[in-house]
Amino acid sequence: MSDRQQFREKTAELIQEALSNNRNEVAVDVFVELHPGDQVEVFSILSENERAGLISSLDISATADLFNHQEDSETLEAAEGLSIERLADVLDEMEPDEAADLLGDLPKEQASKALQEMEDTEDVLPLLNYPDETAGGRMTTAFIFMHRAATAEQAIENLREISPDNEAPYYIFVTDQNKELVGVVGLRELVVASKDTKIDSIMASEVIFVKADTDQEDVAQVMQQYDLSALPVVDEQHQLVGIITHDDILDVLTEEATEDIYRLANVGDSELEPESDIIEQLKGRLPWLYLNSLTALFASWVISNFESLIASIAVLAVFQSVVAGQGGNAGSQSVAIIVRSLALGKISPKRIWRILTRQLLVGLLQGISVGLVVGIGVFLWKGNAFLGLVLGLALVGNMIVAAIAGTAIPLGLKAIGQDPALASSVLVTAATDSLGFLIFLGLATYFMENLL
């Protein structure tokens, strides 16, 4: 790992030096020799100016190659600096799915001008109609298909004609006269078959496919569960319109995991990075902090009802946060387990009651375990058994609240068609904070005589 990273950083320095000496041709020579996977990383190390300098000296096909592999946001930034003519040439050379993604990301005017300038829009246009995060938005139209009556020899001949750096994987999809998907043949079966074997006699006719409007997360689940390296995509008429390849799915899984991690931590924009533009960071983070302020102030209002109690027994203020905080922690645990299990398709609607009761039991046992230890600890510290009792009981109560809220809220969000990762943290914390304070201070009121 570090070897490769060092190599990339060294190479980036070399390119930076060449660019700063206006020796762009040297920079280009070094850059084009790299594997696309390294190009992407080296390009990321360069500054915005250096990127523009390098791109201006790369030829069309090298630029297209870079854009094919580069992350969407960096491709967009580099593409916005190109002239319409050059942009159109690059788009013509790009893989159709990547070109469609870029066209979708570009400002409307630039995209439509570039489309007009492009020579070959046949592969790209159909892709523009699908939302980004669906099977249609992820698929490529560059796949290999043959009519079911073709022979093995014809199929191999067909392969010879297709450019070797085609993204299409080692499968040939088989269609009937209506272009409806009827089967799939692996290249290996094709190779070991005799020449005049008809394709439909060696194809697998039970093909797993998805519809173009399937959500990308579901697509990833299908490919993962069935161990597929390529998944055909069909339209409403069951006609084959594209394929999704294994490398697209790696990107989907990574994106979806980032989105969930960010949402669980109240970060609204899953493209944020540590060095992202400050305005972008504030846009993605601040609204959630404001929302949390509201719930925190609601919890403050709960406490304010006990102000005179606290004035006479100030030690309550010392421990009230332990109850709220531990409820919050236990709630986060439940939310993480439920959200992740939902994302991985591991929760069947039939089991929801069993899940709720089991989580409730875990919450009760956690409450007793933590409540006992913390209650006794505080009794030993402060010498007041009733303080320990109130704290311990409140911890039991709030852990139960945490278990119910931490389980029911994400499940409920999912049931009404919302992303369970999105607002679960805020809502669960609101519950464990407010009810935590209420339970603790309520119990303290009950035992007031013994606490004074």
Of 27 and 252, the one with the shorter C-beta distance to its own copies is 252
Q: Which residue pairs from 3-12 have beta carbons closer than 8 angstroms and sit at least 24 positions apart in sequence?
A: 4/38, 7/38, 8/38, 8/41, 8/42, 8/45, 9/45, 11/38, 11/42, 12/42, 12/45, 12/46
Q: By the 8 A CB rule, do 241 and 126 touch?
A: yes
- Residue spans of beta strands (DSSP E) within 220-280: 230-234, 240-245
Minimum Å distance from CB 332 to its own copies? Answer: 4
CB of 111 to its own copies, least distance (A): 26
Q: How far apart are CA 142 and CA 442, in angstroms?
A: 66
In angstroms, give the least distance from the CB of 52 to its own copies: 20
Cβ nearer to its own copies, comparing 34 with 82: 34
Closer CB to its own copies, 177 or 308, in the complex:
308
Give the nearest distance from C-beta 226 to its own copies in angstroms. Answer: 4
- Measured from the CB atom, the residue of 177 and 348 that comes closer to its own copies is 348
Taking the least distance from each CB to its own copies, the nearer of 121 and 245 is 245
Residue closer to its own copies (CB basis): 64 or 338: 338
- Give, as one character, the DSSP assignment of residue 351: G
How many beta carbons lie within 10 A of that of residue 285, not counting itself?
16
Residue 181 C-beta: closest distance to its own copies, Å:
16
C-alpha closest to that of 64 among 90, 31, 85, 88: 90
Min separation Cβ 329 and its own copies, Å: 5
Please, what sign has the CA dihedral across residues 28, 30, 32, 35? Answer: negative
Cβ 236 to its own copies shortest distance, Å: 15
Distance in angstroms (rounded) separating the CA atoms of residues 194 and 196: 6
Q: Of 176 and 218, which CB lies nearer to its own copies in the complex structure? A: 218
Q: Is the dihedral of CA 265, 268, 271, 272 positive or negative?
A: negative
